[in-house]
């Protein structure tokens, strides 16, 4: 699962990417190819578990990211940027809403809503062009030879085209599993999950009016949206200790840092949930697809655990907090032994029993 960070030049993409991944990234504009990185998932439940178990080792879950070349006339015309985006599972689009005379804007003025609409229009247009070409090709082919599979795809492509013409992204289109399979290998960009990060000035961090400007359109298009200040996040990242960071956040009235929110929204849009394994040796957070069975989740840890899965011992993070300890939640009957069909829930703490 990989999230690609896209946006116009000078919107704060690189700043955010660097803070998220700790990478001093190359300049993707110069390299002209995606810069990979991984972000630690910042989840307060993990910190609490580490405090409780005092393990020798602690491992956070990580999310793969890629900083993509900037969206500008050349990368759009050449089409490379779309090939890069097509490799991603989700897109995080960074939009500039901060004013700063020292930072130029390709359009000459700061207007987050305009940029949001323009970039979305480019992405939609890319998909329309692809569908159109594909339709031409398929129509030519079925004219020559009758072919049921091609005819089916042609029908689907025509429906896709009609959908796109209504300016609707493909993520809103309900497709059957068969249809989904038919187009899965095609580079449709608007089918990807999307998170919008509006990079605002510090004083606009809690600006509900600004968020409200985007909310209806984002909701209608199944896009997650959030405000972030790359500048504030960069300042937080420079602080050494957790208590210094907390003081800073308290002073600004920030409950959840933008990085926490951003990774949380990315996970949500990717349909990923977290589970934990705990003990004196190690506390670790893992990611798995929502609705995964216990053996599937075990397979995230190691394929041997999936293959030799016998049962899972399960309790929830919330119960652990509510009852204060494993012993207390066991007394309350909140410790469960589950089989192969158990569906793992967000915040489950698992111990997998398996045979080799």
By CB under 6 A, name the binding residues for ligand GDP. 7, 9-15, 70, 98, 100, 103, 199, 229-231
Q: Beta-carbon neighbour count of residue 31 at 10 Å?
A: 12
Q: Which is nearer to ligand GDP, 190 or 229 (CB)?
A: 229
Q: How far is the CB of 72 from ligand GDP (least distance, A)?
A: 10
Backbone φ and ψ for 72, nearest 5 degrees, come out as -150, 175
Structure tokens at 161: 């085209």
Task: For residues 354 and 356, give the distance between their C-alpha atoms in angstroms, rounded to a whole number.
Answer: 7
Please, is 160 exposed, middle or buried when counting C-beta atoms within 10 Å of its C-beta (0-12, 13-18, 19+)? Answer: buried
Task: For residues 121 and 128, give the distance between their C-alpha atoms in angstroms, rounded to a whole number.
Answer: 10
Q: Which is nearer to ligand GDP, 100 or 313 (CB)?
A: 100
Q: Which is nearer to ligand GDP, 100 or 281 (CB)?
A: 100
Q: Beta-carbon neighbour count of residue 242 at 10 Å?
A: 9
Q: Which is nearer to ligand GDP, 21 or 292 (CB)?
A: 21
Q: How far is the CB of 12 from ligand GDP (least distance, A)?
A: 3
Task: For residues 160 and 168, give the distance between their C-alpha atoms in angstroms, rounded to a whole number.
Answer: 10
Contact assessment for residue 15 and residue 94, using Cβ atoms and an 8 Å cutoff: no
**Interacting residues of 185 by C-beta distance below 8 A, sequence separation 6+:** none
The secondary element (H helix, E strand) that includes residue 312 is: strand 309-316
Q: How far is the CB of 152 from ligand GDP (least distance, A)?
A: 42
Task: For residues 341 and 309, give the distance between their C-alpha atoms in angstroms, rounded to a whole number.
Answer: 11
Render 103-130 in DSSP notation, one character per residue: S--TTSS--HHHHHHHHHHHHHHHHHHH
Q: Which is nearer to ligand GDP, 104 or 322 (CB)?
A: 104
Q: Which is nearer to ligand GDP, 82 or 98 (CB)?
A: 98
Q: How far is the CB of 125 from ligand GDP (least distance, A)?
A: 22
Q: Which is nearer to ligand GDP, 122 or 141 (CB)?
A: 122
Q: Which residue has the tokens 């298009």?
A: 221
Q: How far is the CB of 40 from ligand GDP (least distance, A)?
A: 20
Q: How far is the CB of 102 from ligand GDP (least distance, A)?
A: 7
Q: How far is the CB of 259 from ligand GDP (least distance, A)?
A: 13
């Amino acid at each position: 699962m990989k999230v690609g960070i896209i946006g116009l030049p000078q919107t704060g993409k690189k700043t955010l990417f660097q803070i998220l991944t700790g990478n001093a990234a190359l300049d993707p504009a110069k390299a002209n190819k995606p810069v990979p990185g991984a972000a630690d998932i910042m989840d307060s439940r993990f910190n609490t578990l580490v405090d409780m178990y005092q393990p020798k080792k602690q491992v956070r879950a990580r999310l793969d990211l890629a900083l993509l070349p900037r969206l500008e006339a050349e990368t759009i015309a050449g089409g490379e940027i779309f090939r890069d985006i097509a490799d991603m599972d989700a897109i995080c689009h960074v939009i500039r809403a901060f004013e700063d005379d020292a930072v130029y804007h390709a359009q000459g003025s700061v207007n987050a809503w305009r940029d949001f609409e323009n970039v979305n229009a480019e992405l939609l247009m890319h998909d329309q062009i692809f569908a159109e070409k594909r339709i031409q090709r398929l129509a030519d082919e079925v004219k020559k030879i009758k072919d049921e599979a091609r005819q089916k795809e042609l029908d689907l492509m025509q429906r896709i085209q009609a959908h796109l013409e209504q300016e609707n992204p493909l993520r809103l289109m309900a497709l059957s599993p068969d249809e989904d399979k038919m187009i899965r290998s095609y580079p449709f960009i608007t089918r990807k999950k999307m998170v919008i990060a509006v990079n605002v000035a510090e004083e606009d961090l809690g600006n509900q009016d600004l968020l409200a400007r985007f909310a209806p359109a984002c909701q209608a298009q199944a896009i997650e949206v959030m405000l972030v200040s790359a500048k504030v996040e960069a300042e937080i990242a420079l602080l050494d200790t957790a208590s210094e960071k907390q003081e800073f956040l308290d002073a600004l009235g920030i409950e959840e840092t933008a990085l926490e929110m951003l990774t949380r929204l990315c996970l949500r849009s990717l349909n990923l949930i977290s589970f934990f394994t705990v003990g004196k040796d190690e506390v670790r957070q893992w990611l798995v697809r929502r609705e995964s069975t216990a053996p599937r989740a075990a397979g995230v840890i190691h394929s041997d655990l999936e293959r030799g899965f016998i049962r899972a011992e399960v309790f929830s993070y919330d119960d652990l907090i509510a009852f204060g300890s494993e012993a207390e939640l066991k007394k309350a009957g909140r410790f469960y032994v589950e089989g192969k069909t158990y569906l793992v829930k967000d915040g489950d703490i698992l111990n997998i029993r398996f045979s080799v």
